[in-house]
Chains A and B, each alone.
Chain A
Amino acid sequence: MSQNIDTPFRTSLLISTMRVIVRYLIIFLVAFVLFGVILLIAGKDPVLAIKDTFSSTLRSAYGFSEVIVKMIPLIFAAIAVALPSRVGLINIGGEGQLYMGAWLATWGALTFSPLPPWILLPLMMLLGMIGGSLWAFIPAFLRARGLVNETITTLLMNYVAPSLVTFFIYGPWRSPGNALYPQTVDFVPAARLPTFWGTRVHLGLVIDLVLLVWYWYVMKYTRWGLEMRAIGGNPQAARRNGIPLTTYIIMVLCLGGALAGLAGMSEISGIHGRLRPGFSPGFGYLGFLISWLSGGNPIGILVMSFVMALVTSGGDILQINQGLPFAVVNILLAITLFVVLARPSFWKGMKA
């Protein structure tokens, strides 16, 4: 007997969507202007950059599909941060968790290659989730025991995971062929997520959308979402009301890790078809930004991930056309976060 909490909530859904849209418009307007100024100072042409970005991404169907391709891992990574944030945890370890998810999924792909795709793919997904979850367990445990804040531990572990993965790529899993660019052997076709319409957009998108709905539904309608929001709102009161804080902390952070692990798995299975060193240009961090900017709101995550994908495409353009390093994009992203954090006064009513 699943019940919606009747009309007052339906109208507020519309209002909150409107608020979300206006909020983003303002953030990005301010950020783009500031970023444009910085580009000008650096002697580059911001207007040209924007034009180039749009023409390569939104003018053609293929260009658009490439943006979607970039968006897929971002959504995973964003939910991986958003979910723990609802209980007040900061999961900045998405990067490490996605590498470990990719790693374990690769092991599955290499070890179980004879299996048919409808068994192998779900198995790899499961392995990806387990890998990411395990990587999140140590910080979760330390936080639950009150020993160390998860922010630092997850950050440090972000530096360990890629090296670990690279070790395996150069070592036991090395593909004999390619001496110049080490990577694993190609995955069997059964281990590849299917793509659509001749583009590189793969099944990960579908999983993404399902997860978004799942996230929205859990937080809004289930008992666990209710208790999680109670913890996020007032942990002391939640404890007095009998909600088991420790259990939730560990479970939710591990769940976040699992989702980040899925991001890793979907990238290597959907796009690359093999495990390459450094395959992530910072998805985990971008996911953090997206989650923070969207206030953990599912629709916001979808929109912001798309925008972020656009921006990173722009970063590529900047690099190619104007000779700027890709990392410059971080300036824009940082400015948007600054604007949110500095909470200018017209903001006050819009807190998600």
Chain B
Amino acid sequence: MSLLSILGVISSAIFSGTSLLYTTLGETIDERAGIVNLGLEGVLLVSASVGFAVTSQTGNPYLGVLAATLAGGLMNLLLGFLVITRRANQLASGLAVMFFGFGLSALIGKPYVGARINGLPRFIMPGLSSIPALNSSQFKFDILIYLVVPIAILIWWLLFRTRWGLRLRAVGENANTAFAAGCSPQLIQYQALFLCGLLAGLGAAHLSIAWTMTWAEFMTAGRGFIAVALVIFSKWHPIRAIAGALLFGGAVAFQLLLQASGIAISPFLLDTLPYVLTVLVLIAWGGTRKHAAPASLGRVYQGTE
């Protein structure tokens, strides 16, 4: 296997994993506030379609990214209305948002199926261009990719080094205690959901505008659920999420590599790889992770919420 193809796998992993990472980061925030968003799949789809549509219409990928981000935020506010204000079951509400997203994204994206857009420009990171081995088109990344790790660090800082983050985590652990300390759990949860939506929108934007530069129905292929599983896997910690996203991005890329190198494994079996991996991870570590979960999430999962 040549250096080029290894680089290719790494590059694919990074491209594939970035949207996953943004989404996971967003979901980490709102799960830390005690809300599980099973509708992420729908949120991603709507954001991706909106971003793609706006980019196609205006020719400006940055506008598209902005639109996608906002769309994600709005979708999540919808979930927030159901779950926070109307106190509906989180799991069912998430699934309702998922269905909504399936349909809305199809509606929005229909006119743009097969359209071509100018995606986000890719460039090599300044400083790396001097290394000849890396100076290939494989290692040109777009701005969202470069931003994702700094953003992850920023989120870590936000959650663990600010008053807002402290209160948010307190709400996710025990809303009553947070309330006794003078916080408004409802407001904080809305904020968390909105931020999660923005980040998911960024992830979706990356998927449709920066990486694939296409729109197809259901193009997110379960990333929303993988993100939820990744949050568990990374113990609700933004920095660990990076490794998780790379791993799963890598699984997708690995699948492409195998196909490309002509190894005779059915592409369909390979398709299942990320999901099987996720389930195995959940089986292996779901139990221990349970204790690392924000306390009120446990009640959501038990159905006693």
Whether B59 is near chain A, meaning CB under 8 Å from some CB there, is no
When C-beta atoms are compared, the residue in chain A nearest to B225 turns out to be A155
- Contact digits for B266-283, partner A, Cβ 8 Å, 1 yes 0 no: 101101100110110011
Which of A69-77, A108-116, A255-263, A329-337 is found at the contact surface with chain B?
Answer: A329-337
Q: Are B102 and A330 in contact (CB under 8 A)?
A: yes
Q: Are A334 and B287 in contact (CB under 8 A)?
A: no
In the complex, what's the smallest C-beta–C-beta distance from A281 to chain B, in angstroms?
A: 12
A327-B102, A334-B102 provided; 17 other pairs, C-beta below 8 A? Answer: A138-B283, A145-B287, A148-B282, A148-B283, A151-B301, A152-B38, A156-B275, A159-B272, A160-B275, A164-B268, A164-B272, A167-B269, A285-B99, A328-B103, A334-B96, A334-B97, A342-B86
When C-beta atoms are compared, the residue in chain B nearest to A341 turns out to be B88
Given contacts A160-B272, A341-B88, A341-B89, contact A155 B100 (CB under 8 A): no
Tally the A-B contacts, defined by beta carbons under 8 Å: 143
**B residues near A324, Cβ cutoff 8 Å:** 106-107, 110
Whether B95 is near chain A, meaning CB under 8 Å from some CB there, is yes
**B residues near A151, Cβ cutoff 8 Å:** 38, 91, 301
Interface residues of B in 199-226 (CB under 8 A from A): 217-218, 221-222, 225-226
Q: Are A327 and B217 in contact (CB under 8 A)?
A: yes
| Chain B residues within CB distance 8 Å of chain A | 38, 81-82, 86, 88-89, 91-93, 95-107, 110, 217-218, 221-222, 225-226, 228-229, 232, 266, 268-269, 271-272, 275-276, 278-279, 282-283, 286-287, 290, 301-304
The dominant DSSP class at the B interface is helix
**B residues near A130, Cβ cutoff 8 Å:** none
When C-beta atoms are compared, the residue in chain B nearest to A333 turns out to be B99
For A153, A156, A164, A289, the residue with the greatest tally of chain B CB atoms inside 10 Å of its CB is: A156
Whether A292 is near chain B, meaning CB under 8 Å from some CB there, is yes
By the criterion of a CB under 8 Å from any partner CB, how many residues of chain A are at the interface? 50
Cα separation A64 to B279 with both chains bound (whole Å): 42
In the complex, what's the smallest C-beta–C-beta distance from B106 to chain A, in angstroms?
A: 4
Q: Are A163 and B283 in contact (CB under 8 A)?
A: no
**A residues near B218, Cβ cutoff 8 Å:** 327
Q: Are A325 and B269 in contact (CB under 8 A)?
A: no
Q: Are B93 and A156 in contact (CB under 8 A)?
A: no
3 shortest A-B CB distances, which residue pairs?
A330-B103, A331-B103, A334-B100
Given contacts A341-B86, A343-B88, contact A160 B276 (CB under 8 A): yes
